[in-house]
Structure 1
């Protein structure tokens, strides 16, 4: 039993409803919020928690696992141990190499570090490769170990404060690239180490752009862990810091500030705060309109086309199926130049159709997402959950179609 006296659902024979209530309260979610996240009412959540309704069927169980960010299905059911990897994606074959690079200690026999200009050019090439590759984790996973080693050497061998700050800025962006590789994999502790290292490096560099990017990713990590207050704090603190630099006319800083405003809206949408969510999205939209039509931020993907994709996400998180479909129709995926970001948008469009009760259209869009970037679909928990739900359909044709996609993304391999 934990020190606060709360029964541990792993050690005590408790009902499904009690397990649900314990996990919900530990996440700080109200019944209204949890119900909204899984497409049910607060009264439905109360009925399950009090035992008036029994254990839900698999599709709703998967939504609860996703909403509560739990690690194993057994945390809700008490049996049927299924690791969270089923819902968040498998571990990439290159994950051990990246982990080793992150954890490596400085060597005593290292050679001279490359100039920071060379490192920045390599980073720019890595981002371009990520955006153009259908299997972007394969590409990024091969580049990251060398980038980590060389960026850390550049920091250690810096001859003065200016050189060290420049190297720290590069190291922070390498950490940002690593987070894109690690995301949706069973490596949460590694993700947190990289996120925190990126923030420390950005702060030591005193680079507004690097700090904004690090905060943007750190806020996402907090939100996905269920700590919405921490996500808000990081987002607002970083936004206040960056706003002082906006008059300088740096497009990249403006784009990161706009990205942070959307992140604030995303978190508000998760809470079910529609007015706040759309207000923050509108702030991001105004920032995008100050950028050239062809502008595309290499890390956050902030751009005019992506603001349309963000509108779909806000509507989906607010559980507005028909509004999300309407936004999806106004935001063509083809306008997004990045293959993985285009696939992510397709997945959000599929979520919109799924919410609106259009499973056939949801599967069609998921197939388009897989065509654009197979790895994005394979590792995305929302995509995997929708496919798993379709495998439970009573209609043979729908099960067959879902089965084909399940094989392609590795759910049935």
Structure 2
């Protein structure tokens, strides 16, 4: 059955999407503060369609592509966890899909490609329109990195070229994430894993696994085991290397350790989630002063942001606010990562019943990086919910933000 079919009732759509995500009725009910029997009542039609705030809470858990998928109302055809599609997506997709098996073109050296990658990461972290900035760079970078692998003359050169290609795919995955092309996202993630394995570079392997873990986890509860499998296998591979490794390898091991906690928090495993967070924090403290990984953002300061995320994913409103207040003074050098942290804080304030603070925090996220909030389903859920608020001032504020991020027409 297709949830887009017009004849389906709300309850039927809800059951289809819940089943696709691998959730029981009790699990879905618990994630939105209700019971399994309440979910059954909605699915069987015994209960009426709930209010918008509840629909948005269900959409968040089910990670539907848009509200129409759940409601059937094409007037609510609003993209949530899949963004609207960036204007440069087609060009990036074409570059990924092209496969230059034979070419007479001579490409820059691996050293030159790595220098371009370094500039691209700096651009991503500093630009408020970071998707536009890296979207303009990616097509040529993807093509050149692919050809560099083909033209490598020695085994060492080929491994170095594969490491660069893996990193190009990592940058590409940041661009493709939350856009309406799940197949492209998985193609990029899988190619990144293959290139990293071929490179035999521990850092490249760790980064590719870090991104693959996120892709699995964001697909839904049915994929949490796959996320853990990739994550924990990579940590096991890295463990013997850590004693004499570079800060970069230590950082990717720390980032993977936190990801294990993130997945545990999604499962509702409080003790496991915080234990992984504490272990990752100890690893961050072992990094050199001022170290900040350009891909994962793993560092000492980021652990405060990670604490907010753990509390939010566990749906602990009071703890989310406490962690948000504790993290307020930290400095995150990356604009998109700073915006993402603000969105996590806003989720915490919303859970804690502080919608005005949540909206103010989302406004800060928009100031830091408009393209981050535009493609974030959690932020859009909060804005849409408060745009329907009974409080006139809050409704007006949310509506103004909805216009800024493209949810409502001006």
**Cross-structure match for 2:64:** 70
1:319 aligned residue: 315
Deviations 1:100-121 (A, max 9, x none): 1111131744421211111111
Q: Report the Cα distance in structure 1 between the residues aligned to 2:48 and 2:74, rounded to whole angstroms.
A: 16
Q: How many residues align?
A: 407
Which string of whole-angstrom CA distances, capped at 9 and with x for unpartnered residues, describes residues 72-114 of structure 1? Answer: 4344334437556355321111111111111113174442121
Pick the aligned partner of 2:280 from 266, 281, 284.
284
* Displacement of 1:357: 0.5
Q: CA RMSD in A?
A: 1.9
Q: Which residue of the partner structure matches residue 199 of structure 1? A: 193
SS in structure 2 opposite 1:54?
coil
The answer for unaligned runs of 5 or more in structure 1 is 1-6
| TM-superposition CA deviations, 1:8-32 (whole Å, max 9, x none) | 5566965433432332233222334
User: Are the aligned partners of 1:333 and 1:346 in contact in 2 as well (CA < 8 Å)?
Assistant: no
> Do the aligned partners of residues 24 and 171 (structure 1) sit closer, same or farther apart at CA in structure 2, a change above 3 Å counting?
same
CA contact (8 A) 1:86 1:411 kept: no
Partner of 2:217: 223
TM-score between the two structures when normalised by the length of structure 2: 0.94
SS in structure 2 opposite 1:61?
Answer: helix
Instruction: Give distance in 1, aligned partners of 2:148 and 2:400.
Output: 48
Q: Residues of 1 paired with 2:291 and 2:70: CA distance? A: 45
3-state secondary structure, aligned to 1:97: helix
- Say whether 1:383 aligns with 2:379: yes
- Give structure 2 stretches of 5+ with no counterpart: none
Secondary structure of the structure 2 residue equivalent to 1:245: helix
Call closer, same or farther: CA 1:411–1:74 in 2, change over 3 Å. Answer: closer
1:73, 1:81 within 8 Å by CA — same for their partners in 2? no
Distance in 1 (alpha carbons) for counterparts of 2:172 and 2:237: 24
* CA–CA separation in structure 2 for the residues paired with 1:9 and 1:98: 30
Q: Of residues 161, 167, 179 in structure 2, which corresponds to 1:185?
A: 179
Q: Distance in 2 between matches of 1:107 and 1:207?
A: 24
Closer/same/farther in 2, CA of residues 411 and 79 from structure 1, 3 Å limit: closer
The correspondence for 2:202, drawn from 204, 208, 215, is 208
Deviation (angstroms), 1:407: 1.0
- Tell me if the contact between 1:36 and 1:318 (Cα under 8 Å) persists in the aligned partners: no
- Structure 1 pair 259/53, CA: closer, same or farther in 2 (3 Å)? same
Residues 216, 227 of structure 2: 8 Å contact kept: yes
Alpha-carbon distance in 2 for matches of 1:144, 1:101 = 8
Q: Is the 8 A contact 1:272 1:318 kept in 2?
A: yes
Output the TM-score relative to the length of structure 1.
0.93
Contact 2:11–2:45 (CA under 8 A) maintained in structure 1: yes
- 8 Å contact 1:216–1:259 — kept in the other structure? yes
Q: Deviations over 1:253-295 (max 9, x none)?
A: 1111111111111111111111111111111111111112311
User: Does structure 1 residue 49 correspond to structure 2 residue 14?
Assistant: no
Which residue is 1:27 aligned to?
21
Distance in 2 between residues matched to 1:75 and 1:368, nearest whole Å: 30
Map of 2:238 onto structure 1? 242
Q: Provide the rounded CA distance (Å) in 2 between the counterparts of 1:145 and 1:360.
A: 41
Deviates more, 1:8-17 or 1:130-139: 8-17
36 and 266 in structure 1: CA distance in 2 versus 1, 3 angstrom threshold: farther
The correspondence for 2:145, drawn from 117, 137, 151, is: 151
1:113-152 matches, within 5 Å, as: 113-152=107-146
Q: 2 CA distance for matches of 1:406 and 1:26? A: 29
Q: C-alpha displacement at 1:42, in angstroms?
A: 3.8
**Cα distance change on mapping 1:243 and 1:123 into 2, 3 Å:** same
Greater mean deviation of Cα atoms: 36-45 or 259-268: 36-45
Q: What is the CA–CA distance in structure 2 between the aligned matches of 1:27 and 1:172, rounded to whole Å?
A: 29
For residue 186 of structure 1, give the secondary structure of its aligned residue in structure 2: coil
Match of 1:169 in 2: 163
Partners of 2:289 and 2:319 in 1: CA distance:
26
Per mean C-alpha deviation after superposition, the further-off stretch among 201-210 and 67-76 is 67-76
Range with bigger deviation, 257-266 or 76-85: 76-85
Matched, 1:356 2:386: no
- Are the counterparts in 2 of residues 87 and 385 from structure 1 also a CA contact under 8 Å? no
CA contact (8 A) 1:321 1:353 kept: yes
1:333-348 pair list within 5 angstroms:
334-348=330-344
Aligned-partner Cα distance in 2 for 1:359–1:200: 44
